[in-house]
Structure 1
Amino acid sequence: MPGDLYLLAGRYRLIERLGQGGAGTVWRAIDEMLDRQVAVKQVRVPEGLSPAERARFTDHAIHEARSAGRLRDPAIVLVHDVVLEGHQPWIIMDLVSGRSLDKMIKESGSLPPVFVAAIGLRVLSALEVAHAHGMLHQDVKPANILLDGDGSAMLTDFGIAAQMGRPGDRYGSAGSPGYMAPERLNELPSGPASDLWSLGASLYTAVEGRSPFERALPAAVAAAVLLHEPPFPARAGRDFGALLMAMLAKDPAARPTAGQIRQALAGVPTVPVPRPRRARRRWLLPAALAAVVALGAGGWYAAGALGGGQETGRFTTAPDPCALLSDEQVAGLMKGKPERTATRPGECQWLIREPGRRLVLRAWAEKPAGEFGGPQVAQRRFTSEKTSRGAGEGTQGREARGRVSDVTGVGEAAILQNSFTLYVNTNKTGTSDSTLLFRTSNLLGEVIWHREDVPAASPVDKETAVAAARLVSAALSK
Structure 2
Amino acid sequence: MPSDLYLLAGRYRLIERLGQGGAGTVWRAIDEMLDRQVAVKQVRVPEGLGPRERAEFADRAMHEARSAGRLRDPAIVLVHDVVLEGDQPWIIMDLTTGRSLDKVIKERGPLPPEFVAAVGLRVLSALEVAHAHGLLHQDVKPANILLESDGTAMLTDFGIAAPMGGRGDVFGSAGSPGYMAPERLNEQPSGPSADLWSLGASLYTAVEGRAPFERALPAAVAAAVLLHEPPFPARAGRELGGLLMAMLAKDPAARPTASQIRQVLTRLAGAGPASAPARPRRWWLLPAALAAVLALGAGGWYAAATLGGQDTGRYATAPDPCTLLTDAQAAQLVKGTPKRSLTRPGECQWLIREGTLPARSLVVRVWAERPTGDLDGPQVAQRRFASEKSTRAAAEGMGQRQAYGSVRDVTGVGETAIAQNGFKFYINSTESGTADSILLFRTSNLLGEVVWHREDVSAVVAPGDEAADAMADPQTALAAARLVAAALAK
For Structure 1 versus Structure 2, the TM-score category normalised by the shorter chain is: 0.5 to 0.7
Give the gaps of 5 or more residues in structure 2: 275-378, 384-389, 398-404, 419-490
Change beyond 3 A, Cα 1:107–1:424: farther
The residue that corresponds to 1:149 in the other structure is 149
| Structure number, greater radius of gyration | 2
Contact 2:214 2:221 in 1 (8 A): yes
- Which residue type is aligned with residue 77 of structure 1? V
* Equivalent position SS for 2:173: coil
1:399 to 385, 394, 399: 394
Q: Does 1:216 align with 2:221?
A: no
Contact 1:213 1:224 in 2 (8 A): yes
State the TM-score, normalizing by the size of structure 2.
Answer: 0.56
* Equivalent position SS for 1:178: helix
Structure 2: distance between partners of 1:3 and 1:87? 25
The residue that corresponds to 1:101 in the other structure is 101
- Which residue type is aligned with residue 264 of structure 2? A
* Equivalent position SS for 2:14: strand
Contact 1:4 1:14 in 2 (8 A): no
In the TM superposition, what whole-angstrom CA distance separates every residue of 1:266-300 from its partner, at most 9, and x where no partner exists?
11162269xxxxxxxxxxxxxxxxxxxxxxxxxxx
Change beyond 3 A, Cα 1:71–1:233: same
- Which residue type is aligned with residue 62 of structure 1? M
Change beyond 3 A, Cα 1:229–1:51: same
Structure 2: distance between partners of 1:6 and 1:400? 31
Structure 1: distance between partners of 2:225 and 2:12? 41
Change beyond 3 A, Cα 1:194–1:117: same
Structure 2: distance between partners of 1:424 and 1:202? 41
The residue that corresponds to 2:18 in the other structure is 18
Equivalence map 1:271-282=2 (5 Å): 271=272
Shift of 1:86: 2.1
The residue that corresponds to 1:162 in the other structure is 162
* Equivalent position SS for 2:232: coil
In the TM superposition, what whole-angstrom CA distance separates every residue of 1:19-60 from its partner, at most 9, and x where no partner exists?
222222211111111111001111121222111111111111
Contact 1:167 1:187 in 2 (8 A): no
Q: Please report the RMSD computed on the Cα atoms of aligned residues, expressed in angstroms.
A: 2.8
Equivalence map 1:204-283=2 (5 Å): 204-268=204-268, 270-271=271-272
Identity over aligned pairs, percent:
80
Structure 2: distance between partners of 1:423 and 1:147? 43
Change beyond 3 A, Cα 1:215–1:425: farther
In the TM superposition, what whole-angstrom CA distance separates every residue of 1:291-333 from its partner, at most 9, and x where no partner exists?
xxxxxxxxxxxxxxxxxxxxxxxxxxxxxxxxxxxxxxxxxxx
In the TM superposition, what whole-angstrom CA distance separates every residue of 1:233-258 from its partner, at most 9, and x where no partner exists?
11111111110000000000110000
The residue that corresponds to 1:135 in the other structure is 135
Structure 2: distance between partners of 1:421 and 1:180? 34
Contact 1:422 1:429 in 2 (8 A): no
Structure 2: distance between partners of 1:9 and 1:29? 12
- Which residue type is aligned with residue 399 of structure 1? A
Structure 2: distance between partners of 1:105 and 1:4? 37
Shift of 1:196: 0.1
* Equivalent position SS for 2:249: coil
Shift of 1:170: 1.1
Shift of 1:88: 1.2
State the TM-score, normalizing by the size of structure 1.
Answer: 0.58
Shift of 1:398: 2.9
Structure 2: distance between partners of 1:229 and 1:423? 46
Equivalence map 1:45-64=2 (5 Å): 45-64=45-64
Equivalence map 1:79-478=2 (5 Å): 79-268=79-268, 270-271=271-272, 398-399=393-394, 422=407, 425=410
Shift of 1:164: 1.0
Shift of 1:77: 0.3
Contact 2:145 2:156 in 1 (8 A): yes
Contact 2:79 2:93 in 1 (8 A): yes
Alignment length, in residue pairs? 294
- Which residue type is aligned with residue 225 of structure 2? V
Change beyond 3 A, Cα 1:429–1:163: closer
Give the gaps of 5 or more residues in structure 1: 274-352, 358-394, 403-419, 431-478
Contact 2:133 2:391 in 1 (8 A): no
